[in-house]
Structure 1
């Protein structure tokens, strides 16, 4: 902030005005640096703790739940790219402010007691102050958006906690694991024990949560998918989705988003399981074919060997018969 107070140019000399400007500028610059360093240190400490928790709880157990962690890895990569872009933008803004201050300092080194010089200083001060205010406004908007994202994340975590509690206390596989705004569908058939576990898990999930649209009607679900795909599942999709989903609350959309994430994870597991099952079937088919071919070869060799023995035996019999006939003659 700059506290230039020039009540009347006629009462102050140009040199006195310049000194007043420089003092105010130095105080404002020092206060801004102190506040920025304090905030940066706090953010750096928070980031270090978050990364420590992430590495401790996620990537050391990556192989246990590969599908979930691959989503987290992709999200982390996107966030890392966004942070780098934001850092570059902030550095550019700070560099602009720094250059303005440097130019102002250079002007103050050669003070000229003229009204034109004072007007030029005023213009430079206004330009610098506008740059600082613009930077502060942008950072405030980013901070407000982060607060909204944090609130949404807290709500999602709360829903997940309730879901885990239901899982822990459930004594039946048909108990509802997530309360959705629409009714569930009823399924009377029993899943066969011969199906892969991932297929059974996916089908059970559909039974318990309202089918392939999570209990929503086709129109609402398609509008949800359109916005979800546009935002690639980022939390920013919620506000835009509400514009298309009349009659749905923000909590409804957030819960449907949680349901859809789990739907995608279980569906991928099912597809992977079916793929492995088909590959296994193909291998077994090829092995059976090889066994059959080998068996046919063995049978053919046995048959040929038997025929050779039979032929040899027939030849011996003919020779014995001919020999006996010759002796009689």
Structure 2
């Protein structure tokens, strides 16, 4: 269907381009015809001018166009040869002649009245101008007929061209239809060929999928075997590691037990050494205590003897009567009084606690 649409669109584009060319040619023909009609009308229309300012006759020296019909070229050659559109006369004189000649419809009686309007012209000149004017009218009629024939020929050519174009389009349409049918047959063949290739591709794809499935199953079986072997190997490694860990734990436990036994033996040994040291220190302290007690007893004995000697000496010195004055015991001595003169009052109160070196319990009370 896409090829048919493409062919239809191509045909539409060709028809559109042909119609555009026809329209361009038609516009060109219309412009040419309009130009020729305006040119012919300019030849027939008399120019209006100011009668107070007569103008000299002008002769156009434009060469005739070779593409124009023979009648048109003959009219232009006649005008150039005879002095332009006024026949060599002044525009004012020519207009007066046309006025009188038209009034009398070209009858010979117009000559008397024309002589009145054209006092500067002779009768022979008026007759010659009349002959020139009749020849001009004859050539203009021939030109008009030539233009009509040219229009008819152009119309015939256009009709012929349109007919040829229609025949060409019909031939092209038939050719395109034949081409479309051929293309359709070719498309059918290509469709069948594509269907055949598609079926072959599907079979090939199915075969490849089956091969891939078989290969996948084989790989899956192989992977399962490998996974099973890997699990067995990992289990063996795990058992080996667990056995090694068990042996290591037993060895560590044995080492710990030995270490604890060694520490226990060292502790017992230290305890025995400490007991021996304590016993030795105790015996030494007992010897020291006994020595101190003996020394204390000796000092007490010596102190008693010294007190006895002092008492004896005092009794020997004091032989008079001494009055008893109990208040002297509370009075300060002279030395204390002198000392108190130089001592300022301090903020310190009575001593509440005296710190001494610690005395072992077993030595207290000795």
- Shared fold (TM-score greater than 0.5)? no
State the TM-score bracket (shorter-chain normalisation). 0.3 to 0.5
Bigger relative CO (Cα 8 Å, ≥ 6 apart): 1
State the TM-score, normalizing by the size of structure 1.
0.41
